[in-house]
Amino acid sequence: MSTQGILEKIVDEVESEEDELVDLCSKLVQIPTVSPPGESREIAKFIESYFGSLGIATHIYEKVEGKSNVCVELPGKREGKIIWLGHVDTVPPGDPSSWKHDPYGGEVVNGRIYGRGSSDTKGAVAAAMIAAKALSRLPRDERCSVEFWFTTCEEIGAREGARWLAEEGFFRGDVCIVGDSEGFLPRDPVIDVGCKGILRVKLKAKGLAAHGSVPFLGENAVEKLIEVWRYARRISEFKLDVPKALEPIFESSISLFERRMKLNKSQEASLRRLYHFPTVSLNIIRGGIKANVVPDYAEAHLDIRVTPGTDMNSVKDRMINLVKESKVDGVEAEIYSLREGIYEDPKSPYVKSLSEAVRRVTGFSPTLRILTGGTDGIHVKQISKIPCLGLAPGVHGTAHTVDEYVTIENLTAVAKIYAVYPLLFKP
């Protein structure tokens, strides 16, 4: 059979499994896998049972009991090996009463599957499972080898998931496709060629307690934090020295964002700075023990995202200096997480072959993007030294939100791409 005939066969195979794909995604959503704590044994057993029914062997690996990672191996005879990586854990749903659709219901309504993790990333997991099923039915000499990894704890640093697996040497392949992305549309597909790095800072302020009626006898730690934040937020004005090779990708990333979102003028201005300056968000602030007590301790957590290929240490040093420049006594900056971003050369053969798979399935050339968030691809790239690209069915702006959903159209298209890529891949 010709290559085109094989491609058409596997695309038709995935198309015929759409009902099962939807059912799989719904059932995955119905299994709670909140991180923390990141326990995933129930969903791992579900995945193991599914592949067992197909006669496909699986392996489960745990650093900590109950935090399961599943590997499905499909050996092929063509040269090369692809790693597919997606996580099964999710963030908490928040207040269930704020949801119109049960966060663990896996409801299918008007072409959408609702529930926590549907977009991030149980939809991608379901698509990979169907792709693996379709690939297993092909003769080995028609495809390269593929390993599908379904991991846990991505939402809390992956220390019992992909990070641990990378450190232990489990990942071995030529390229890794990370099923953790958003913004895909069959008529406007996206490939992530990189993702931003992360710098997390805890500002810790010490004050002096006093009665709330005589605040001048104390030192208000919350007020100290507020003053320091006025300086710390200026990290967003620190110009980054970015790789010139990524400039076209920055432009295509910004253009994609503009196509997906309606922005006001202030948001548009921030978008234009998205890759040449860090972003900073004050996401947690704690302080005070009682309404009539001047707080003697307060802390704030800052989430700083930095373009890959830039000097993270220079950003860290600038942040520490900004806190010093505030000249507020009793406040220090603790750097508790520093993770550089990653990127692949847009002209690499891996990008070209995945782009070809996207074109074969959708009929459209993909937009290449640097993802603003981080993924487990960082661990695979930095520890296992395997090139990483992101492609997933996630819907733009739905991850971690109320009434999160993924579309059936996206699921089917991405499942086809996952199935087609091992037929086109050349290391």
**In terms of domains, do 201 and 191 share one?**
no
- In this predicted structure, what is the pLDDT of residue 331? 98
User: Is residue 261 in a domain?
Assistant: no
Of 292, 315, 339, which residue constitutes the final position of a domain?
339
Q: Is residue 318 part of a domain?
A: yes
Burial status of residue 228 (CB atoms within 10 A of its CB: 0-12, 13-18, 19 or more):
buried
Per-residue pLDDT, 320: 97
Question: 106: which 2 tokens?
Answer: 């896996």
Question: Taking a C-beta distance cutoff of 8 angstroms, is the pair 313, 287 a contact?
Answer: no
CATH of the domain at 328: 3.30.70.360
**Closest CA relative to residue 87, chosen from 399, 307, 309:** 399
Check whether residue 211 and residue 347 sit in a common domain: no
Q: Write down which residue in 339, 355, 390 finishes a domain.
A: 339
Q: Within this chain, do residues 186 and 318 fall inside the same structural domain, yes or no?
A: no
The residue from 339, 358, 375 where one domain ends is 339
| Whether this model's pTM surpasses 0.85 | yes
**Domain shared by 323 and 384, yes or no:** no
Structural domain boundaries, residue 314: 197-240+277-339
Read off φ and ψ for residue 60, nearest 5 degrees.
-115, 130
Q: What are the pLDDT digits (tens) for 384-415?
A: 999 999 999 999 989 999 999 999 999 999 99
209 with 118, same domain: the answer is no
Query: Which CATH number is 172's domain given?
Result: 3.40.630.10
pLDDT exceeds cutoff 90 at 2: no
Per-residue model confidence (pLDDT) at position 1: 66
322 with 381, same domain: the answer is no
Q: What is the pLDDT of residues 213-244, one digit of tens each?
A: 999 999 999 999 999 999 999 999 999 999 99
pLDDT at position 427, please?
84
Tokens of 68: 């399961």
